[in-house]
Amino acid sequence: MKSITRTQFDFPKQTAVYNGKVRDVYTIEDKYMVMVATDRISAFDVVLPEGIPFKGQVLNQIASKFLDSTSDIVKNWKIASPDPMVTVGYKCESLPVEMIVRGYLTGSSWRAYKAGAREICGVKIPDGMREHQKFEKPIITPTTKAEIGGHDQDISREEIIAQGLVSEEIYNQLEKITLALYQRGCEIAAERGLILVDTKYEFGLKDGEVYLIDEIHTPDSSRYFYLEGYQERFDKGEQQKQLSKEFVREWLMENNFSGQPGQVVPEMTDEIVTGISERYIELYENITGSKFEKAPYGNDTYERIEANVKNLLARL
């Protein structure tokens, strides 16, 4: 099945196009944004050569659901999702930091800890912790946003404020909102038998007010463990059963790729691609509690997206 890895739309009153690692973003009248979630997949800040069928739909529909279910905590950019792969919303002034919140010592934070680090982004981590161990309370480890093809860089709260990336007043708001969103995400995950291990949020300003932008609680921005058996696996020192993009990173590392200069992405066979697609659909069904309905793929997919977006834009 051919995945959708690149779009080239020309919507009415379109003023700009931005191709991110995963999403193609079209600006309309410098007021609205049309965000198309493609089937591209990235790891270690590198876009991999093969797309993953239905990944864009999974990401878009999970994010759309969670934007709706957290709008009482913070306003967000979403206006509507007119197509399974598209969300349309307000154009906000993007803030140049990503707010990463971690409830457990795992992934990149564990790799750094295992290598001897006891401080991440200015946050001190106690000695004696083990992989996948829950923090006493969630920690925030921000990064700067990378340019296309670049790497996000860890940064501390103090550095963000000192460099003027975000004012202290706004940053304090971001921290408060981040922890509230994470708490809500944990509650929803627990209802589905999952643990929201860590996640990241992006924010912007609209009329001087903080808005949540981009995606939220998707497998690209979050890591989930299965709640059942977590403690038993942790006690035995076993790996956790998880739903996230970490399995893609682990596969790449097993094949000698971690995004370093000179390394070559291993071959993504049909079997690998299908397996990744199935894992994304598995997460969708687990976190939403709904069966995933595959949108039709075919020669008219682009026409469908274009028509659905144009119909919505005409009503704005």
> Do 93-244 and 14-92+277-313 have the same topology in CATH?
no
SS3 316: coil
Q: What is the pLDDT of residues 176-226, one digit of tens each?
A: 999 999 999 999 999 999 999 999 999 999 999 999 999 999 988 999 999
Domain 93-244 indexed as CATH 3.30.470.20: yes
Q: Which residues contact 10 (CB under 8 A, 6 or more apart)?
A: none
Report, as an integer, the average pLDDT of 19-33.
95
- pLDDT of the residue at 152: 75
Please, which pLDDT band fits residue 297 given cuts at 50, 70 and 90?
A: confident
- pLDDT of the residue at 145: 77
d(CA 206, CA 71): 15
Report, as an integer, the average pLDDT of 301-307.
95
Report, as an integer, the average pLDDT of 242-266.
90
Cα–Cα separations (whole angstroms), residue 183 to 50, 230, 238: 34, 19, 26
Report, as an integer, the average pLDDT of 306-314.
97
d(CA 172, CA 157): 9
- pLDDT of the residue at 245: 81
8 Å CB contact between 59 and 22: yes
Q: What is the CATH number of domain 14-92+277-313?
A: 3.30.200.20
- pLDDT of the residue at 194: 95
- pLDDT of the residue at 1: 61
pLDDT reading at 142 higher than 60: yes
- pLDDT of the residue at 146: 62
Tokens representing 305 are 């997206």
Q: Which residues contact 25 (CB under 8 A, 6 or more apart)?
A: 17, 18, 19, 33, 34, 35, 36
Q: What are the beta bridge partners of residue 263?
A: none
What proportion of the chain, given as a percentage, has pLDDT over 90? Answer: 86
Residue spans per domain, the chain: 14-92+277-313, 93-244
- pLDDT of the residue at 244: 75
8 Å CB contact between 277 and 283: no
pLDDT reading at 313 higher than 60: yes
Measured at the alpha carbon of residue 35, what is the angle toward residues 303 and 307, in degrees to the nearest 5? Answer: 20
